[in-house]
Each structure stands twice: as structure tokens, then as C-alpha cells.
Structure 1
Amino acid sequence: MAEQHPQPDERPRPKYGELAPPGWTWTPPADADRLDTSRTSPAASGAEESPVEHQAPPPHAYQAPPGGVLQQPRATSRWDLPLTVLLLVFGFFGLSYSIGILQAFPAYLQLLHSSQGLGDYTPEPVVGTIVTIGTITMAGLWAVSTGLSVWLLVRKRVAFYVPLITGVIAFIALIVFASLMVSTDPALLDVYGGFSPPPAPSTP
């Protein structure tokens, strides 16, 4: 049996728009021939990235703190540290001398009584309290001055004025405590206050 081959279609092909329904028309879009440039290839996008953005800064490069403000360390004078230490040492000797004055002040009042012929000096009970408070105050002033001076030196700030101001305050406090002890002796106040002349020394 012979193999049959399909017969070719000899019918004429329909022309453009021949089979469209009546009244239908087609208009090509205005941008049909325009290339779409909004899309970029991955190769082009990778080439546009700057390699500098992915590089780490060198180890020696200085990075500014957040906010862009560069904080410079405070510089102090070279003479501030030795001067502050010298004043603190001088203040320690002044503290020892002030405490010695307060402790010996009742004996000094007894000496004034003897030299002025006022008889024996009997200190009031409050004198011992004044001496104790004065001693604690002097030691506390020096301790506060030393601590504050060291704190300022660690923070690289000028500190020499702290022992100077503390020394002035300690001197004023010493005068106040001495005046309080003198005020407990009425006989001495009468003599030095001009209320009564000192008694004449007795003749042998």
C-alpha cells in the first residue's frame, strides 16, 4: 500500500485585517519603536558602584566622633603640677602647726594670766570642745583640698589655686576658734577690752 502524503493548502492566505470584524481598526502605540532604557543590566549596575565605599579605612586613620566635633585634650601648664604638690605639702605643715596652736592655746591663756597678774586660769568645759572641733575642721580642710587637687590634676586641669584658697580659709578658721576660746575668759576680756586696768604687780 502506497504511503499518502498530505496535500498542500493552495488556498490564498488572508491579508492584513481581512478576517477582523467589521469596524475594527488597530493603531500601533506611539512608543513602540523606543528602546526601554529604564532597566540596566547587572553588569552595568555593578560597574557603576564605587569600590571606595567598600574599602575599610586604614588603621592609622583618625575617625571623628559622632556629630563631627573633635575633642582636643586639655593642656595644662608644666608648672601647675609641681606648684600644686608644693602647696599641698606646705598646707600639711600648716595643718600641723594650726593643730598645735589650738592644742596649746589653753596653756597660752594661762601664761597671759600669769603675766598680767590675773591669777590662775581655769578653762571652761567648752574650751575642750572648741579645740576638738577646730582640730577636726583643720584636718578636714586639708583632706578636701588634697582630694580636689588630685582630681583636677587627673583630669588635666589647673589645680594650684585649690590649696591656696583652702589655706586662706584655714587661717580664718584658726582665728575664729582662737577668738572663741578667748571669749570664754571674762577676766582676760575685761583687761584687753579696756573695761578694767590690769592689776599692779605686788611689790615684795
Structure 2
Amino acid sequence: MTHDEAARSNGAAGQDSPPPAQPIDERPRPRYGEYAPEGWSWQPPVDPKAVPDAATDGSPTVPPPGAPGALGAPAAPNAAPGAAVARPNDRLWTIALLVFGAFGAVYNILTLVQLPATALESAELSSEMLGVDAPTAFTPGPAVPAVIAVGVALQVLAWVGALLWSRARLRTGRLAWWIPVLAGVAAFIVVTIVGLLVFASDPAFLTSLSTAGV
């Protein structure tokens, strides 16, 4: 075999033999988010054209989580917090007590205004009921008109305050019947204190009441 034939045979043999294998890269491949900051995750962008329109394809619309009607979302309460609760009996009693309190306030005011003139008559009536000597005279002091004016003003304020407070509680559905009762007790205490102050304005009259046992 000549040199040229040996070279051709070697070349044909080289073409038929497989190429040498490449070295395998054993280094770890980088992953998504490997060098991203902590807490960050990559999200692929969403093509608006690729998302089917629920209004056009006829598929039912699923509300987002937390929306009214969403699966797992808390149901809305039947009534909002703080809504007025119907209390017909309480409303009826409150209105009736306020009307009664209005008449009571008028009566108390008339009683206070006439107190200097009726003080002696009241003392005589009480003395007759107890069987003791009645006082013979009553002279109101100079501070009596001012004391009576304060008592009248307190009567009006007590009723107006009860009216406004009761209306505010009725609008919010809370019990209000006890407010006119409380105002009536306060008005009675005012009348009692004013009466004692009017009687005490005449020391001789007060002394006669004490000695008579009234």
C-alpha cells in the first residue's frame, strides 16, 4: 500500500469514528431570584390581550376575595352597628312621662311663685292637722324673689333637658323612659329646697314652726 492510499484510509476511518466527548460543566446553574433581595419574587408579565374577557365569553364572573358575595368572605350583618332598634313600648312610656312631666313642671312653677303668699296658709293647715299652735305672721326676706327665680329656671331646665336627652336616646334605639322619671325626682328636690329657703328667710316664722312641732 502506498503512502497516499494509507492516508486516504486513515481519513475515511477518522470520518467514521465519533468526535471526542465534551467536558461536563458541573457548576450549578443560576435560578430565578437567586440574587434578588429578600422577600422579592419575580412574576411574569400578563398580556391583557391574552386574558379572556368574562363579559364577552359568557363565563361567570368570580368576585375577588373579600368582596361582598365572594366565597369565604364574611356575610354582611343584617343591621349596621349603632342602628336604631324599634322599642314601641319604651317610646310610648317616654312620651307619656314627658307629657306628665310638663304638667308637673307647670304646677311646680306656680307653687314656687305663690310660695310667699301661701307659706302662712300652709303652716296654719299643718298646725291644725297636728293640733298645735299656728304661726301668726310670715315676712319673706329680700332674697326670696331671687331664690324663687332660680327654682323656676331649674324646673324649666329639668324638663327641657329631659326632652332633649330622651329624644336623642329614642333615635338611637336605647331605653329612655327613666329620663323623665329622673327629671321629676330632681324637680321635686328643687321645690323642697326652695321652700325651705323661703321659710328660713323669716327667722321668727321658722322659730315658730320649730317650737310648734310642725
TM-score, structure 1 normalization: 0.63
Q: Tell me what 1:33 maps to.
A: none
- Call closer, same or farther: CA 1:114–1:165 in 2, change over 3 Å: closer
Q: Tell me what 1:99 maps to.
A: 109
- Call closer, same or farther: CA 1:162–1:26 in 2, change over 3 Å: same
Q: CA–CA distance in 2 between the matches of 1:131 and 1:163?
A: 23
Instruction: Report the 3-state secondary structure (helix = DSSP H, G, I; strand = E; otherwise coil) of the residue aligned with 1:52.
Output: coil
Q: Tell me what 2:88 maps to.
A: 78
The counterpart of 2:22, out of the listed 16, 22, 26, is 26
Q: Greater shift after overlay, 133-142 or 102-111?
A: 102-111
- Per-residue CA deviation, residues 99-156 of structure 1 (Å, 9 max, x unaligned), is 000000000124468884624x332110001000000111111111110000000111
Establish whether residue 88 from structure 1 lines up as the match of residue 88 from structure 2. Answer: no
What's the offset of the Cα at 1:191?
Answer: 1.5
Establish whether residue 64 from structure 1 lines up as the match of residue 76 from structure 2. Answer: yes
Q: Greater shift after overlay, 71-80 or 110-119?
A: 110-119
Q: Tell me what 2:19 maps to.
A: 17
Q: Tell me what 1:35 maps to.
A: none
Over the residues paired in the alignment, what is the CA RMSD in angstroms? 4.0
Equivalent pairs, count: 161
Higher share of residues assigned helix: 2
- Call closer, same or farther: CA 1:52–1:166 in 2, change over 3 Å: same
Q: Tell me what 2:205 maps to.
A: 188
Residues 76, 157 of structure 1: 8 Å contact kept: no
The counterpart of 1:173, out of the listed 177, 190, 199, is 190
- Per-residue CA deviation, residues 76-118 of structure 1 (Å, 9 max, x unaligned), is 4321111100000100000000000000000012446888462
Residues 76, 158 of structure 1: 8 Å contact kept: no
Structure 2 letter corresponding to 1:86: A
TM-score, structure 2 normalization: 0.60
Q: Tell me what 1:135 maps to.
A: 152
Q: Greater shift after overlay, 90-99 or 70-79?
A: 70-79
Q: Tell me what 1:118 maps to.
A: 136
Q: CA–CA distance in 2 between the matches of 1:26 and 1:51?
A: 55
The share of aligned pairs that are identical, in percent, is 25
Q: CA–CA distance in 2 between the matches of 1:169 and 1:63?
A: 47
The counterpart of 1:52, out of the listed 47, 50, 62, is 62
* Structure 2 unmatched runs, 5+: 1-10, 27-43, 53-59, 126-133
Structure 2 letter corresponding to 1:182: F
Structure 1 letter corresponding to 2:152: T
- Call closer, same or farther: CA 1:78–1:188 in 2, change over 3 Å: same
What's the offset of the Cα at 1:173?
Answer: 1.3
